[in-house]
């Protein structure tokens, strides 16, 4: 049903899909210019694409629309440069050699009850660098999801057995995963330093679940 791919593990969905989309888009754009140049009897280097039109540079009235180009691409070889295959589509693969992990710094201000050891999170701050952001709202959601997983792993989720090896936390009634009630308001900030990948994207959100902690004594109850 789809071309073969290596999967989007390790926060690589945007990196792989975005990179492949950019590469395919470049191929389609190049072919669009070649077909438009043929229709306009011009050189591809002299053309500009803007607002759905392909025009001769400096002569905005001499143009064809992208719709015209697509019609020619699928209208038979007689409308195309000699030797060009019909169609206006491309399939590209992209899998960067180096990792695409993001950088993140997390800071939590907490209160710890010395008698019960209950931990209350007073403030939580995140600075995340996922390279170029496409949709900031989605990025914030992924950061918050990673923080929720980290809070759950550190404070709430525990597999407990009794002395005979019987699992005591086998349901979500006993094994507590974090909900909106347990997660504090998260102050999120972003740094966009482009990666060396096509598009400059990195993964995002794993900093909250995979972190090194340094603890500084603060409030006490």
DSSP result, 142-178: HHHHHHHHHHIIIII----B-TTS-BS--STTTS---
- Per-residue pLDDT band for 35 (boundaries 50, 70, 90) equals very high
What local confidence, expressed as pLDDT, does residue 221 receive?
Answer: 39
Q: Which residue has the higher pLDDT, 132 or 208?
A: 132
Selection from 22, 17, 11, 210 nearest residue 130 by Cα: 11
pLDDT tops 80 at residue 215: no
Percent of the chain with pLDDT over 70: 94
* pLDDT higher than 80, residue 218: no
Residue 217 has pLDDT above 70, yes or no: no
| Residue 215: strand, helix, or coil | coil
Q: Within its chain, how far is the Cα of 12 from the centroid?
A: 7
Q: For residues 175 and 214, which has the higher predicted lDDT (pLDDT)?
A: 175
| 42-60 pLDDT per residue, tens | 999 999 999 999 999 999 9
Distance of CA 52 to the CA centre of its chain: 27
Percentage of residues in the chain having pLDDT higher than 90: 65
Under the phi-then-psi rule, with left for phi > 0, alpha for psi from -120 to 50, and beta for the rest, what region is 117? left
- pTM, two decimal places: 0.78
Average pLDDT over every residue of 170-183: 90
Among the listed residues 89, 115, 206, 220, the single catalytic one is 206
185 is known as an active-site residue: no
pLDDT of amino acid 8: 65
- State yes or no: pLDDT of 106 exceeds 50: yes
What is residue 64's predicted lDDT score, i.e. its pLDDT? 97
């Amino acid at each position: 049903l789809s071309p073969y791919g290596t999967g989007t593990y390790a926060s690589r969905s945007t990196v792989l899909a975005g990179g492949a989309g950019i590469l395919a888009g470049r191929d389609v754009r190049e072919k669009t210019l070649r077909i438009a140049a043929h229709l306009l009897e011009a050189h591809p280097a002299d053309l500009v694409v803007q607002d759905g039109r392909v025009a001769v540079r400096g002569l905005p009235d001499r143009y064809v629309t992208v719709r015209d180009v697509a019609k020619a691409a699928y209208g038979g070889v007689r409308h195309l440069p000699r030797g060009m295959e019909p169609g206006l589509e491309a399939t590209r693969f992209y899998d960067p050699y180096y990792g695409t992990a993001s950088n993140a710094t997390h800071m939590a201000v907490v209160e710890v009850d010395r008698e019960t050891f209950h931990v209350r999170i007073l403030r939580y701050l995140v600075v995340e660098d996922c390279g170029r952001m496409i949709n900031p709202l989605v990025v914030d959601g992924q950061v918050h999801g990673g923080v929720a997983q980290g809070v759950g792993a550190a404070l709430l989720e525990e597999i407990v057995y009794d002395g005979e090896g019987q699992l005591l936390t086998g349901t979500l009634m006993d094994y507590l995963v974090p909900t909106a009630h347990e997660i504090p308001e998260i102050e999120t900030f972003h740094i966009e330093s482009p990666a060396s990948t096509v598009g400059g994207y990195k993964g995002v959100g794993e900093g909250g679940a995979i972190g090194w902690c340094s603890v500084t004594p603060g409030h006490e109850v």
